[in-house]
Structure 1
């Protein structure tokens, strides 16, 4: 039994490594599509992706992997990693097997063309260019939901891909509490009469100087962009990886906005550090990645906002910024700190302030639910989008580019992803509460430039587990509690009441 078991385990790991090789090749081609690929290569690239996705489909749904599942699922004393591996591949097998192979390949090819159409539509600010492609993506996902089956709301089937176990009912409760708290605090901020100065951020900053300063910060964060990562530019900043030794991030530079690329650097580096920290032993198990998209976003938004927008962080880095950027001459630390934390309801999610950011996500969540449940037509999205922005944030998009076309996620069919961003805020604040219990002087250390202590705590408590634990199990393992909105709400109130001098 023991010899046969060990042989089966080796065979399983080798099989899963082959699957990882194909999936990494797909991810590499997708990265290249966003960073380097010439426009005329779209069709052929989509065919390449279609072919490789077909091969991935075959490995994910083969008789061999079914045999592995059946063999290991009857063994009750599996170690933690093997047990999680079998649960994971069984879940993916059952989901993937229900989609016909040819249809899955066509979907991947359509997603590649759709992503290219989105880029063109965004550049020309013309939703009609993207509309027929988005209709295809929605129809595919509606069909997949029916293949998979669902309990309660149809959208639950898509949520489960990115945040296993979460439901619309749970999110409605969390987001409802969060929305009410944000709206209440936002009202008090508006009544405060204080408006931090931000014009010094909109002077001219060369991309080269922005990159240089970003690297100074990333060196302290310990994202390795020299040996196991790299930095490139793309229309929409993102992180991708091909194992833990090749983790790449991108940003986008705006010469007249110092904050955009800077906080993209910090955000994406947060993702990158997570993936670089995944232990070698999890490679070849399909567990060598983040626990979920929400947990992943907790890491990036933790670094970007809780750390990167804290006064202690800038007590260390602002003197360096003053040396590099004469544009900040005469601006003291308090002005700078208030400026990067100014609250100003805006149109663009990725450029929004920390307080109102979650409202952008809630809008997308509500639209996605309506789309998947067939309650709204793709053709009506620009109008629906604009109405919700007026209602929730009091702003009106002037065109499609700054409205419904601002995000790339729908172009490749990533429905169910958006809630992860706001869930990441909640996870991050809950992790912070535990971190401060474990390291009471954590922010004193940050003020000295000691980000190693932050990195070590995150690695010890979150990163080293990869996807061994489901998100609901991980948050409870780390903090002793189920996910709640209270810690993020408390964090927001404490921070912004201090900045805006609200009692």
Structure 2
């Protein structure tokens, strides 16, 4: 099905068309592989794990061969882009080809096979709080990712090479500088909040699963999720999967904590609408997906936090919850807003409040960087995690599922991914400021449960462009200035300073 290589005397645009046709077919196969992963997380029978690992390895073998196809070199040499879309397409194709050529096919397939199996082993170990059952498999994943990082780095820093998969151009040094800028003011804000004389009430009660999922679907629709091109399922670890006309999300349900379901859903919808709103002309091409995981995370975090946890929108959500669940112990919109934004040191990153969230990411960044560099071995990981958590959060980890086993990322080989969560928060803070300047009546819209103005602004300034621009170009243009930590920190200090009187 692959296009034939152009003849030596073929016009240059023939080479470009051959490249795009090859890239479209590769992207289609990547979506098929993604659907296998989605099924593994949602509906696959447990006994199918070993077979699925072989299926994933086979798919990766096909994809690696396409990404490293030697014809790509000739086609790329035959094309000189003359307009921005072609330039962006070719840059993406060239980058993928160069990176694929550095990683042996054997290694690429073995990573796919081992991480597919590891995902199930992690889930079972997490359910039993059994670290020992998972560590041998994690050690194998780390060994393979170290090898991949070294191959990609060609003598440079292996961790930087892995980060580059998720945030092109970003390095460990850049991340450390970003965290150094954030940490002092975050720690100071946390200290003032935890020392405040009054604290918002916690949510108590039982909230039926069926009612939760119905409201979650309504929230997804309010934030612009197109159910004709997507669906919601339940998973251990919420995620978004797919692109274009098939973008699926998952959430999770705890009857004692409906916020977990509602805000996980809003978060994943932020990812999903990014993919659904990319210019359809870019579908199944190299620029037909989100430009980076940092930008992707900015879309989920601005939906979840700056919009979904705002005073205006929580007023609307409070009315929805009272209508569907009846009285649940919170007496006013103001009290509900404070409860939604309650700051409390907790074990779970995905449930963390906005003040603590980035501290969770910093912990993971330091540990995974040390693992890839060989400064930390897997056998010592749990002790390192628990010691660092106690130092950062002042709470001792009580069980492995609240500690080193809580995240799926390392089991599936996503080393270098965690820092993009905080980068996404920085971008979200900057985008939120620009959005409010552009939409002076935003709070009135949010109070009515109307997200169309906000999501329309995101679609226009970020989402529709897909991978046409670099992450830095995209965000800088959207906000009209250089992105930095300032807007996020100012937003957090203003919001939580007001709630806690600090």
TM-score, normalised relative to structure 2: 0.96
| Residues 322 and 328 in structure 2, CA contact (< 8 A), matched pair in contact too | yes
Deviations 1:316-363 (A, max 9, x none): 232222111114255211111100101101111011111100000000
Matched, 1:44 2:48: no
CA distance in 1, matches of 2:69, 2:416: 27
Who is 1:218 aligned against? 220
Structure 2: where are the runs of 5+ without partners?
1-7
CA distance in 1, matches of 2:421, 2:393: 18
CA distance in 2, matches of 1:258, 1:341: 14
CA distance in 2, matches of 1:444, 1:479: 22
Who is 2:208 aligned against? 206
Matched, 1:373 2:379: no
| Residues 150 and 157 in structure 1, CA contact (< 8 A), matched pair in contact too | no
Who is 1:195 aligned against? 199
CA distance in 2, matches of 1:300, 1:217: 13
Q: Does the C-alpha gap of structure 1 residues 329 and 2 become closer, same or farther in structure 2, counting only changes over 3 Å?
A: farther
Matches within 5 A, 1:117-128: 117-128=121-132
Who is 1:102 aligned against? 106
Moved more, 206-215 or 2-11: 2-11
Who is 2:392 aligned against? 392
Matched, 1:53 2:60: yes
CA distance in 2, matches of 1:135, 1:329: 47
Once the two structures are TM-superposed, the CA of residue 481 in structure 1 deviates from its matched residue by 2.7
Who is 2:290 aligned against? 290
Q: Does the C-alpha gap of structure 1 residues 43 and 404 become closer, same or farther in structure 2, counting only changes over 3 Å?
A: same
Who is 2:271 aligned against? 271
Moved more, 492-501 or 5-14: 5-14
SS of match in other structure, 1:247:
strand
CA distance in 1, matches of 2:211, 2:103: 48
| Residues 223 and 452 in structure 2, CA contact (< 8 A), matched pair in contact too | yes
Who is 1:17 aligned against? 24
CA distance in 2, matches of 1:277, 1:428: 18
SS of match in other structure, 2:250:
strand
CA distance in 1, matches of 2:98, 2:104: 12
Once the two structures are TM-superposed, the CA of residue 482 in structure 1 deviates from its matched residue by 2.8
Who is 1:356 aligned against? 356
Who is 2:88 aligned against? 84
Deviations 1:370-424 (A, max 9, x none): 1111101101111110111111111111111111000000001100000111111
CA distance in 2, matches of 1:39, 1:345: 35
Who is 2:240 aligned against? 239
The two structures, once aligned, show a CA RMSD in angstroms of 1.6
SS of match in other structure, 1:249:
strand
Who is 1:144 aligned against? 148
| Residues 282 and 288 in structure 2, CA contact (< 8 A), matched pair in contact too | yes
Deviations 1:259-298 (A, max 9, x none): 1011011101111111110111112322111110011010
Deviations 1:96-150 (A, max 9, x none): 1111112211111011011111111111111111111111111111111221226
Deviations 1:286-317 (A, max 9, x none): 21111100110100010001111111002223
CA distance in 2, matches of 1:395, 1:148: 38
CA distance in 2, matches of 1:164, 1:118: 28
Moved more, 310-319 or 50-59: 310-319
| Residues 138 and 371 in structure 1, CA contact (< 8 A), matched pair in contact too | yes
Who is 2:135 aligned against? 131
Who is 1:71 aligned against? 78
| Residues 61 and 93 in structure 1, CA contact (< 8 A), matched pair in contact too | yes
Matched, 1:7 2:14: yes
| Residues 23 and 93 in structure 2, CA contact (< 8 A), matched pair in contact too | no
Deviations 1:43-100 (A, max 9, x none): 111111111110001110112222222222xx1x522111111111111111111111
Matched, 1:166 2:170: yes
Moved more, 344-353 or 468-477: 468-477
| Residues 203 and 327 in structure 1, CA contact (< 8 A), matched pair in contact too | no
Once the two structures are TM-superposed, the CA of residue 5 in structure 1 deviates from its matched residue by 3.3
CA distance in 1, matches of 2:78, 2:476: 30
CA distance in 1, matches of 2:274, 2:308: 16
Q: Which runs of 4+ in 1 moved over 3 A?
A: 150-154
Once the two structures are TM-superposed, the CA of residue 152 in structure 1 deviates from its matched residue by 6.3
SS of match in other structure, 2:456:
helix
Who is 2:38 aligned against? 31
CA distance in 2, matches of 1:203, 1:2: 73
CA distance in 2, matches of 1:312, 1:476: 27
Q: Does the C-alpha gap of structure 1 residues 64 and 2 become closer, same or farther in structure 2, counting only changes over 3 Å?
A: closer
CA distance in 1, matches of 2:155, 2:442: 43
| Residues 223 and 451 in structure 2, CA contact (< 8 A), matched pair in contact too | yes
CA distance in 1, matches of 2:195, 2:134: 41
Q: Does the C-alpha gap of structure 1 residues 166 and 150 become closer, same or farther in structure 2, counting only changes over 3 Å?
A: farther
Structure 1: where are the runs of 5+ without partners?
none
